[in-house]
Amino acid sequence: MEQRVTSALIAIRRIVRAAEFAARDLSKVAGLTPSQMVVLQLIDRDGELSAGALAEAARLSQATVTALLDKLEDKGLVVRRRSAEDRRRVAVALTDEGRRVLVTTPDVLQNRFAARFEELESWEQAAMVAALERVAALLDANGIDASPIIDVGSLRRSGDGPA
For residue 143, being part of any structural domain is answered with no
pTM (global) more than 0.85: no
Residue 59 is assigned to a structural domain of this protein: yes
Range of the domain at 51: 2-138
Question: Is 19 part of a structural domain of the chain?
Answer: yes
| CA 22 vs CA 28, 34, 36, 52: distances in Å | 10, 8, 13, 27
8 Å CB contact between 38 and 58: yes
On average, the pLDDT of the chain sits at: 86
- pLDDT tens digit sequence for 105-125: 877 888 889 999 999 999 999
Is 148 a member of any domain?
no
The three-class DSSP label of residue 54 is helix
Q: Are 118 and 128 a contacting pair, CB within 8 Å?
A: no
Quick check: is 145 in a domain? no
Identify the band that residue 1 occupies on the pLDDT scale cut at 50, 70 and 90: low
Asked whether residue 116 is domain-assigned, the answer is yes
The domain that contains 115 carries what CATH number? 1.10.10.10
How do residues 58-81 score in pLDDT, each as one tens digit? 888 899 999 999 999 999 999 998
Number of domains forming the structure of the chain:
1
